[in-house]
Amino acid sequence: MNISEIPYKIYLEEDEIPKTWYNVRADMKEKPAPLIHPGTKEPLTFEEMQPIFCDELIKQELDDTTRDIPIPEEIQSFYRMYRPSPLIHAEFLERYLDTPAKIFYKFEGSNTSGSHKLNSAIAQAYYAKKQGLKGVTTETGAGQWGTALSMASAFFGIDCKVFMVKVSYEQKPFRREVMRTYGAEVTASPSMDTEVGKRINEENPGTTGSLGCAISEAVEVATKTEGYRYVLGSVLNQVLLHQSVIGIETKTACEKYGIKPDIIIGCAGGGSNLGGLISPFMGEKLRGEADYRLIAVEPASCPSFTRGKFAYDFADLGMVCPMAKMYTLGHGFIPSANHAGGLRYHGMSPVLSQLYHDGLIEAVAVEQTSVFEALTQFARAEGILPAPESGHAIRTAIDEALKCKETGEEKVIIFGLTGTGYFDMKAYEQYNDGKMSDHIPTDEELDKGLSGIPEI
């Protein structure tokens, strides 16, 4: 098929929404290392995880052999509300860049939560409901995950308690209000409602919070409240599993229209979007059926892949969570205050960490002013106002397309456009006013976090 015959927006049919999730671990020869107990340093058992997580989600977390896992009917029904998401041929951006490259993006931002996070939120809320639970707790930073979980919880009629990183809570009152509109209870973190919150507040007076800290609070409330469990929007194996719907749809659309990607790009904070987008392509690569360049893009101010250490570390600042083997900047790492948007987690998905360690994916770090330059170019050319997080993938997609302009190569580039930026206009304002700055941590700054990674 000639590229000009491909529609601008490729919408699949309703019956092409995936009916199974794809579990990339089944195809990995080197499996991601298991979560371990911080005390015993032994792999966590199903029973040990039960106080924290829903039963069915623990099964998914531990299952590294089943390749295709059926998506329950109720979740499929919810997916129909906003899926299939379109794969868009960025012809206006190509024209603007004057590149021979063919650029496509999978747009996950057209649902109300504004991002791909809803794909896993609805699954986690469903399993909580099915287990007869009363509610779930979680943390949110930029607010996308909290919004997604609020929507999902409202849909299944369960309670939702969100610990929102204090700086976001204050700077993004409208994000908070969306969550409240969906019935969630939103608390600024660190709060004085939890033991760990009190401790962190005492040890760090005036702290504006961090994801690692909010996680500690949410876990504490979940384990201490009857009928509650904790849910997490990224990093975990189960989350990457749910997010595989992004990649499966992308692959289906590619096959339907004869698009053969050379490069697939995604932004990476905890890794849920990137992991979901590349999973089925990675599967082909692992099985030796095809090859792709798969690129993780992270902020230069929070460079887990490119400057972190592959080691067991705590998932949270309060050290109440299990430990995961991952690329990490140390559980005490907090990105500099001028960092805009999400992608601020100190660690990275164990699945992606293993794949990166094995040389199966590449990683680059980009600076935020160059990200906002790309965001603005993209917005004006393609008409969509992206989230800052998504801008990292756009930046690298544009860089690769400009390389093609130099070499004359017609490479096919696909990137993940994870979400919209409607709640990030403060950062856009800074950029529009020429007041945005970059921060690349010095080696000394990074050492503070890295030196806190425990020796195991």
Binding of residue 188 to a copy of itself (CB under 8 A): no
**Interatomic CA distance for residues 264 and 76, integer angstroms:** 26
- Where do runs of H (alpha helix) occur along 36-83? 46-49, 55-62, 73-79
Whether the Cβ atoms of residue 211 and residue 139 lie closer than 8 Å to each other:
yes
Retrieve residue 367's tokens.
Answer: 């600076």
Question: Which of residues 43, 51, 70, 173 is near a copy of itself by CB under 8 A?
Answer: 173
Distance CA 32, CA 315 (A): 15
Residues 6 or more apart from 284 whose CB is under 8 A from it?
290, 292
The answer to whether residue 183 forms part of the interface with a copy of itself (CB under 8 A) is yes
- Which of 63, 376, 399, 445 touches a copy of itself (CB under 8 A)? 376
Q: How many C-beta atoms surround the C-beta of residue 287 within 10 A? A: 9
C-alpha–C-alpha distance, residues 193 and 187, integer Å: 9
Q: Between 13 and 47, name the residue whose CB sits nearer to a copy of itself.
A: 13
The C-alpha atoms of residue 416 and residue 347 are separated, in whole angstroms, by 20
Which residues 6+ apart lie within 8 Å of 358 measured at CB?
A: 30
Q: Is residue 189 within the footprint of a copy of itself (CB under 8 A)? A: no
Stretch that binds a copy of itself, among 30-38, 66-74, 107-115, 355-363 (CB under 8 A): 107-115
- Binding flag, residue 8, a copy of itself (CB under 8 A): yes
SS3 content of the chain, % helix, strand, coil (to 5): 45, 15, 40
Verify binding: residue 204, a copy of itself, rule CB under 8 A.
no
Q: Is 11 in the site for a copy of itself (CB under 8 A)?
A: yes
Name the DSSP class of 341.
S
- The answer to whether residues 58 and 124 touch, using CB atoms and an 8 Å cutoff, is no
What's the rounded Cα separation, in Å, for the pair 91 and 103?
Answer: 7
Secondary structure of residue 213 in the 3-state scheme:
helix
Q: Which is nearer to a copy of itself, 46 or 174 (CB)?
A: 174
Verify binding: residue 46, a copy of itself, rule CB under 8 A.
Answer: no
User: With binding defined as CB under 8 A, does residue 377 bind a copy of itself?
Assistant: no
Residue placing its CB nearer to a copy of itself in the complex, 118 or 246: 118
Please say which residue, 194 or 250, places its beta carbon nearer to a copy of itself: 250
Q: Which of 30, 170, 177, 447 binds a copy of itself (CB under 8 A)?
A: 177
Contact status: 13 vs a copy of itself (CB under 8 A): yes
425 contributes a contact to a copy of itself by CB under 8 A: yes
Cβ at position 265, least distance to a copy of itself in Å: 21
- Residue with smaller CB distance to a copy of itself, 25 or 83: 83
Among 384, 387, 393, 436, binds a copy of itself (CB under 8 A): 384
Q: Which CB atom, from 182 or from 305, has the smaller least distance to a copy of itself?
A: 182
- How far is 362 from 373, CA to CA, in rounded Å? 23
Distance CA(147)–CA(157), nearest Å, equals 15
Asked if 3 is part of the footprint of a copy of itself (rule: CB under 8 A), the reply reads no
**112 touches a copy of itself (CB under 8 A):** yes
Pick from 304, 367, 318, 374: nearest CA to 339: 367
Q: Quick check: 110 binds a copy of itself (CB under 8 A)?
A: yes
Q: Which is nearer to a copy of itself, 114 or 332 (CB)?
A: 114
- Using CB under 8 A, pick the residue from 69, 154, 286, 440 that binds a copy of itself: 154
Compute CA distances 28 → 23, 219, 283, 310, 358, whole Å.
10, 30, 8, 18, 10
Q: Which stretch binds a copy of itself (CB under 8 A): 60-68, 138-146, 171-179, 435-443?
A: 171-179
Return the SS3 of 89. strand
The answer to whether the beta carbons of residues 144 and 161 sit under 8 Å apart is no
Subset of residues 385 to 424 that bind a copy of itself, contact rule: CB under 8 A: 385, 420, 422-423
Distance in Å, CB of 160 to a copy of itself, minimum: 12
Q: Does the protein bind a copy of itself through residue 171 (CB under 8 A)?
A: no
* Shortest Å, Cβ 155 to a copy of itself: 7
**What six digits make up the tokens of 247?**
């990649």
Per rule CB under 8 A, is residue 151 in the interface with a copy of itself? yes
Contact region with a copy of itself (CB under 8 A), list: 247-255, 313-321, 330-338, 383-391: 383-391
Taking the CA atoms of the chain, what radius of gyration do you get in angstroms?
20
8 Å CB contact between 353 and 327:
yes
Residue (6 or 101) nearer to a copy of itself, CB: 6
Between residue 51 and residue 90, which ones bind a copy of itself under the rule CB under 8 A? 78, 80-82
Count CB atoms within 10 A of the CB of residue 409: 14
- Rounded CA-CA distance 204/47 in Å is 34
Identify which of residues 34 and 143 has a Cβ nearer to a copy of itself in the complex. Answer: 143
* Binding-site ranges for a copy of itself (CB under 8 A): 7-9, 11, 13-14, 78, 80-82, 92, 110-112, 114, 151, 154-155, 173-174, 177-178, 180-183, 376, 379-380, 382-385, 420, 422-423, 425-426, 428-429, 432
